[in-house]
Amino acid sequence: MTPELILLFTTTASVAFFHTVMGPDHYVPFIALGKNKSWSLQKMCLVVIACALGHAVGSILLGLVGIYFGLELQVLSSFEGNRVVFAAWAMIAFGLIYGSWGLKKAFLRRPHEHWHAHDGVFHSHQHVHDEKHTHIHNPYDLDKRDSSAWALFIIFVLGPCEPLIPLMMLPAANKSVIGVIGVIAIFFLVTLITMLGVVIVGFYSLNRARFDFFSRFGSTLTGGSIAACGLLVIIFEI
């Protein structure tokens, strides 16, 4: 392996790591949704892997098409930039909808009194409309009815890995097939491992904590955090 390729692969790994860590949209939605929906660690990791694949595949295909047809980097970067904005607004919309639904659910679960009369005697008791259910899910199962996981997957498919295409173009300019393949493999693996690492740490950290407030307003907080991630992407172009 040449010194140039070693430098390129090291740079790719560093860019992938910092791009993932500095972009809260790569891990906050998974941690928040997983906590709120009581996902198992196995299911959360499956969702992360699926979203990471969707996140990378679009940019990889676009980069390969650009290399094959000799498209200018500026053209590809402009297209990727538009995808970033679209995906960020989609994340904001999803977060606001999910948070609004959570707020409605929180008020439905507010304790309230019911009065009853039995044999002429009036009495009251507190009642809560709780939507929780008791049947057991397979921890490895990506439930087809889990619309939040699928919505997250679609958003990640729409969102590109912006730094990947410029990195792919460097070895492509020197007609290095090994360089292009190496950049793709390293960028994806480092991104995936970093996402999984941060999400797993967040999973165990939140599971150790107990928030009574979260049990009622968890969906609202989850939606708000997802919308905030999308807003940060737009403001800081993470």
State the pTM of this model: 0.78
Query: What mean pLDDT is predicted for residues 81-92?
Result: 92
DSSP string, 154-207: HHHHHS--TTHHHHHHHHHHTT-HHHHHHHHHHHHHHHHHHHHHHHHHHHHHHH
Whether the pLDDT of residue 136 is over 80: the answer is no
Average pLDDT score over the chain: 83
Residue 88 lies in a domain: yes
Tokens of 5: 């390729």
Residue 91 lies in a domain: yes
Residue 135 lies in a domain: no
Above pLDDT 90, what percent of the chain?
Answer: 50
User: Are 212 and 37 spatial neighbours (Cβ–Cβ below 8 Å)?
Assistant: no
Residue 118 lies in a domain: no
Query: What is the per-residue pLDDT for 199?
Result: 96
Query: What mean pLDDT is predicted for residues 141-153?
Result: 74
- pLDDT, one tens digit per residue, over 224-235 is 999 999 999 998
- Picking from 23, 165, 155, 25, the residue whose alpha carbon sits closest to that of residue 86 is 155
Query: What mean pLDDT is predicted for residues 143-166?
Result: 84
SS3 126: strand
CA distance 25 to 45: 16
Q: Which domain holds residue 48?
A: 3-110+140-236
CA distance 106 to 103: 5
Residue 224 lies in a domain: yes
Give the list of residues 6+ apart from residue 41 with CB closer than 8 angstroms, or none.
139, 200, 203
Whether the pLDDT of residue 124 is over 90: the answer is no
Residue 178 lies in a domain: yes
Residue 164 lies in a domain: yes
User: Of the ranges 124-138, 151-165, 200-214, which one carries the lowest mean pLDDT score?
Assistant: 124-138
User: Of the ranges 141-150, 164-173, 180-189, 216-225, which one carries the lowest mean pLDDT score?
Assistant: 141-150
- pLDDT, one tens digit per residue, over 165-185 is 999 998 998 889 999 999 999
Total of domains in the chain: 1
Residue 199 lies in a domain: yes
